[in-house]
Structure 1
Amino acid sequence: MIQVKNLWFKYENDFILKNVNLEIKENNFIAIIGANGSGKTTLAKHFNSLLTPTKGNIIIDGLNTKKNEVNARKKVGFVFQNFEDQIIHSIVEEDIAFGLENLGLSDNQASKIVRETLDKLRINHIAKSNVNMLSMGQKQLVALAGVLAMKPKYIVFDEPTTNLDVRNKSNILNVIKDLNKNEEITAILITNVLDDLMYAENAVVMKNGQIIFDDVKSKLNKKILKKAGLNG
């Protein structure tokens, strides 16, 4: 479980997050939605210690990120909105193996995990491809593969449908849903697109650095969406 307790985060002179409290249960598929500047990505970056609380605590499976940053970070993967920046190597399978090699795994161990990851995402056919020759949708899956290979328990997807065409938007959201269902990955979807909510189980709505809704998505209504500056 990810627990956010009385989280405040200050950037320069302004508080971007204000007394945020949240629990994300294991094996859930949760969407954190809000208008631009609402604080949703800032919140998510606390989950794997990309940011440190100004006040309050983040607890990952009982580990406080302030005291156990390295071990807590291993549990939470992050696929960035600018996912191309996460790709290090030009060949797909080499890029997926990069993080594993840094962990000290043998070539055989790393190769086995790379093959398993390619299978899970159904991208075996591009294993030896040059990343620069791939479509944006394929590059996104390569970035995800690099994260998935590290076997995190939770994965944050930061606005994954941005800059994708309709087909690739649907594909990445279905991939996330499959990982949640079949691989028991707790999926945390950061978005400002209402249509993305249909794939999630629970919704968290943010406005001005605060949570204004946290429940099953079926209870979300137009009044709350309007308050958040989202078109319902």
Structure 2
Amino acid sequence: MIKSKNLYFKYEDNFVLKNINLYIEEGSFTAIIGANGSGKTTLAKHFNALLLPAKGDVLVDGINTKHDELNARKKVGFVFQNFEDQLIHSIVEEDIAFGLENLGLEKNEIIGIANKTLDKLKIIHLTKNNVNMLSQGQKQLVALAGVLAMKPKCIVFDEPTTMLDVRNKNNILDIINNLNKKDDMTIILVTNVLDDVKYAENVIVLKNGTIIFNGEKSRLNSKILKGAGLSD
């Protein structure tokens, strides 16, 4: 579903991604891990054209992100680490409706999709609530609902457990796993927390903007993790 070919990216004169070649299969669950500053989020932002390559290409369902950012972005949703930045409106249902309104859908259809999405995430009871009064876990689910309502084929979760307590961490990881296993959605999870990759099938390990491992999670070992700065 997502392919990068000889991908390079730089901030000013400094290359932070170097010769990234990968393929993420449709319906898979892939974790991208690495120490802080390894390039994880920068790489993930290329998957829905939030960033574009300095050199090389990223293809999403065959769409080159450099040639068609909009349609690539429709394929891949993104839940940010600072998910509160994604919450536009103060009322939950209005926030979910925001993206759908931009698609030109009828009001009744928008309400139906919003309610179905909130129900799926077991937060339908929050429909009329003020977003600012929600817990961190609830805010994250509202942000996810806004992404899900747009019906992407893939969702990127950028460090989804960082701002959560243990209960909400486990809840969001279970939800992410269910989206993959029950709904066949392609999942990309970006993290530097090894416990967060428990449901992933495949793992990509980054170090200093390069891939040092790309394969099945079962093949990951302590030597690779130590080399990436993820273990002692």
Global fold match (TM > 0.5) = yes
SS at match of 1:170: helix
Across the aligned residues of Structure 1 and Structure 2, the Cα RMSD in angstroms comes to 0.8
Q: Deviations over 1:23-69 (max 9, x none)?
A: 00011111000000000100000011111100000000111111121
| Unmatched tracts of structure 1, length 5 or more | none
Q: Distance in 2 between matches of 1:163 and 1:136?
A: 7
Aligned positions of 1:179-190 closer than 5 A: 179-190=179-190
Q: Which residue of 1 aligns with 2:143?
A: 143
Q: Which residue of 1 aligns with 2:37?
A: 37
Letter of the 2:212 partner, please give it: I
Q: Distance in 2 between matches of 1:122 and 1:71?
A: 30
In the alignment, is residue 11 of structure 1 matched against residue 11 of structure 2?
A: yes
Aligned length: 232
Q: Which residue of 1 aligns with 2:128?
A: 128
In the alignment, is residue 76 of structure 1 matched against residue 93 of structure 2?
A: no
Q: Which residue of 2 aligns with 1:178?
A: 178
SS at match of 1:160: coil
Q: Deviations over 1:125-181 (max 9, x none)?
A: 111111111100000000000000000001000000002111111111111001111
Letter of the 1:10 partner, please give it: K
Q: Distance in 2 between matches of 1:52 and 1:22?
A: 16
TM-score by length of 2: 0.98
TM-score by length of 1: 0.98
Q: Which residue of 2 aligns with 1:115?
A: 115
Following superposition, the deviation at residue 196 of structure 1 comes to 0.8
Q: Deviations over 1:80-125 (max 9, x none)?
A: 0110010011111110011000111010110111111012111111
Q: Distance in 2 between matches of 1:95 and 1:185?
A: 23
Q: Distance in 2 between matches of 1:76 and 1:198?
A: 22
| Unmatched tracts of structure 2, length 5 or more | none
Q: Deviations over 1:195-224 (max 9, x none)?
A: 111121111110000111111101100000
Aligned positions of 1:60-71 closer than 5 A: 60-71=60-71
In the alignment, is residue 229 of structure 1 matched against residue 229 of structure 2?
A: yes
Q: Distance in 2 between matches of 1:181 and 1:127?
A: 27
